[in-house]
Amino acid sequence: MRCKSASDRDLLALATEARSQAKTARTLLVNTRFDIALAADADGVHLPASGLPIDRVRGAFARGAHRPLLIGRSTHTADEVRRAREEGADFVLFGPVFETPSKAGLIPARGLEGLKAAIACGLPVLALGGIDASNADQVLACGAWGLAAIRWFENPAAGRLDYSAFRARWEEA
């Protein structure tokens, strides 16, 4: 759950609603806000690359949570993935793999070789950044654990058939 413009109360309401509406087992992670994640009974939190130390967040959750906490970290280099692993992250988001408007001029695309180096660090890697129907199979072939593709999934013109076929290939892998 990521909604940077929402107030604390609105984000809590969204996360609580997402938790209650899940028809099957789903994993709910709240971006950055471990206090909201705890209050919404989320499964975990995703921390930015420069975010709070993982061990401190895990310790705070352990005092109030009744189940293990998933903690992920945004990363942009293999060194950051290794550091996240050493800090105790359960998974990382890595990217941008390809050029994307949201990171234009901020973070250069890491490419498939950068993704492979991140995966080689031994943590589950969710790839993101510029992923769509034209390159998602390449991400899968690299061994990514998952992917985020906001523009692809948001855009009805992107072709639901492409997404459905890809999801079937991903589940087979």
pLDDT band, residue 161 (cuts 50/70/90):
low
105 three-state secondary structure: coil
149 is a domain residue: yes
Torsion of CA 110, 111, 115, 118, to 10 degrees: -30
Q: Strand (E) positions, 9-154?
A: 29-31, 44-47, 70-75, 91-94, 125-128, 146-148
1 is a domain residue: no
162: domain CATH number is: 3.20.20.70
59 is a domain residue: yes
pLDDT, mean of residues 131-159:
82
pLDDT, mean of residues 69-96:
95
Q: Give tens-digit pLDDT for 13-49.
A: 999 998 888 666 678 889 999 889 888 888 889 999 9
Cut 0.85: pTM above it: no
Residue 160 pLDDT greater than 60, yes or no: no
d(CA 66, CA 150): 32
Per-residue pLDDT, 92: 97
Tell me how many domains the chain contains. Answer: 1
Per-residue pLDDT, 71: 93
CB-based contact 123:104 (threshold 8 Å): no
Structure tokens at 149: 């593709």
- For a pLDDT cut of 90, what percent of the chain falls above it? 46
d(CA 48, CA 76): 11
d(CA 52, CA 54): 6
2 is a domain residue: no
Structure tokens at 45: 């939190």
Q: What is the mean pLDDT of the chain?
A: 86
Q: In degrees rounded to 5, what are phi and psi of residue 22? A: -65, 120
Look-up: residue for tokens 């950051």? 80
20 is a domain residue: yes
Per-residue pLDDT, 78: 97
Per-residue pLDDT, 134: 84
Q: Give tens-digit pLDDT for 108-126.
A: 999 999 999 999 999 999 9
90 is a domain residue: yes
Percent of residues in the chain assigned helix, strand, coil, to nearest 5: 45, 15, 40
Per-residue pLDDT, 108: 92
17 is a domain residue: yes
Triad 52, 119, 65: Cα angle to 5°? 40
pLDDT, mean of residues 89-94:
96
3 is a domain residue: no
Range of the domain at 14: 8-172
